[in-house]
Structure 1
Amino acid sequence: MSPVRQLLASLRMMLVLTLALGVVFPALVWGVGRAVAGDQAAGSLVHRDGAVVGSSLLGQAVKDPALFHPRPSTSEYAGDTSGGSNLAESSADQATAIAERRTAYADIAEGQPTADALTASASGLDPDISPEFARAQVARVAAATGLDATRVAQLVREHTTGRQLGFLGEPRVNVLELNLAVDALR
């Protein structure tokens, strides 16, 4: 086989594989994703009054005292810079960050801080908090919204998701969905 024929065969193969693996296969995966799990494939967007207010899969910064606060983020909840700090527990920077978060905790919750109130998630975008952290914020949210604390605590219970399949993970509360429920009542 001549070098020219080999080159043409190689170019044809590259074109076929580029189309198959770079266009057809991704389009097929996208189509199956949309058909089987359309909401998740589209980013699990949360809508309110026809507008997108966030994603149930991504945490957001919350400063409003009338809303539940998420766990800390090392990326300031920016998806393009997502990631953990990679600081060891023995790191002086980690100790300083936890001390600062412990001080800030007193302004947003009651009682002993939970681990998720003091530490950022690995992605820095975790949308969930522990039910304990949510319950520790009930009094502040109730006072700031004028809602009855019993009703706010009920919202926390209603928005607590158990372990997946009954044994995977920990119970959790999606902060965005909980805050939307609080907003709907005030």
Structure 2
Amino acid sequence: MSFAREANRAVRSTLVLWVITAIAYPLIMIAFGQVVFPFQANGSLLKNAKGDVVGSALIGQPFTSDKYFNSRPSTTSYSTADPGKDKDGKPLDTAGVLSTGVSGASNLAPSNPALLDRIKGKSDPDPSKAIEGDLPRLQKAGVKPTADLVYTSGSSLDPHITPDGAAAQIARVAKTRGLQPNQLEDLIKQNTDGRFLGIFGEPGVNVLKLNLALDALKPAS
């Protein structure tokens, strides 16, 4: 068999495999995802009552307002853009701002002064250098600190808090919104994700989903 014939066969085989693996297979997987898993395939995007996309169920957002369940701390502030100001010139809550995707942990040791300052706070004669720690802030709001409300996640983009972390905020949210605590307890249960396949990981509450449901909740009559 001639070299030219062998080379021609090799070239044709390469082209066929390239079409199958680089074009046909990806297109089939995209079509399969859009038909069978459209929500996941398009980024697990969540919408508010108006139908506007406010974020992804996979990426956390920095909720800090007393009328919302707060997220866990983030070393990257969840990588959000400046939310701007409302018509009265007041800063908007950062809820609803899509993350830019920057991720990373602080890698600070438990004994690092910078980590202790962020958690416990730091007083200074110069107000611009003072730091309000997460622990005093939670205690001031009447929230019993849990580990996930004080420490950041490895990615700093974790969208979940623990059920205990959500339950610790019930009194504050209920008081701010004029709701009954049992309404919020039911809401947390409805928005708690169980273990993957029932055995992997721990139950978690998606903060964005919970707060969207919270906005739709009406005070008990």
Do structure 1's residue 98 and structure 2's residue 119 form an aligned pair?
A: yes
CA RMSD of aligned residues (A): 2.7
Cα displacement string for residues 54-88 of structure 1 (whole angstroms, at most 9, x for unaligned residues): 21111111132111001111111123322211223
Distance 1:15 1:50, change over 3 A: same
Distance 1:139 1:28, change over 3 A: same
TM-score when normalising by structure 2: 0.70
Correspondence for 1:166: 198
Shift of 1:52: 1.1
CA distance in 1, matches of 2:23, 2:160: 35
Correspondence for 1:52: 53
Richer in helix (by share): 1
Letter of the 2:109 partner, please give it.
A
Distance 1:160 1:14, change over 3 A: same
Specify which of 135, 140, 143 is matched with residue 110 of structure 1: 143
Correspondence for 2:208: 176
Correspondence for 2:88: none
CA distance in 2, matches of 1:13, 1:96: 63
CA distance in 2, matches of 1:37, 1:108: 41
Shift of 1:90: 3.2
Native 8 Å contact 2:75 2:106 kept in 1: yes
Shift of 1:43: 0.7
Gaps of 5+ in 2: 80-99, 121-132
- Number of matched pairs: 182
Correspondence for 1:144: 176
CA distance in 2, matches of 1:82, 1:74: 9
Specify which of 94, 101, 107 is matched with residue 86 of structure 1: 107
TM-score when normalising by structure 1: 0.81
Letter of the 1:33 partner, please give it.
G
Native 8 Å contact 1:69 1:108 kept in 2: no
CA distance in 2, matches of 1:32, 1:53: 26
CA distance in 2, matches of 1:17, 1:52: 39
**Percentage identity across aligned positions?**
42
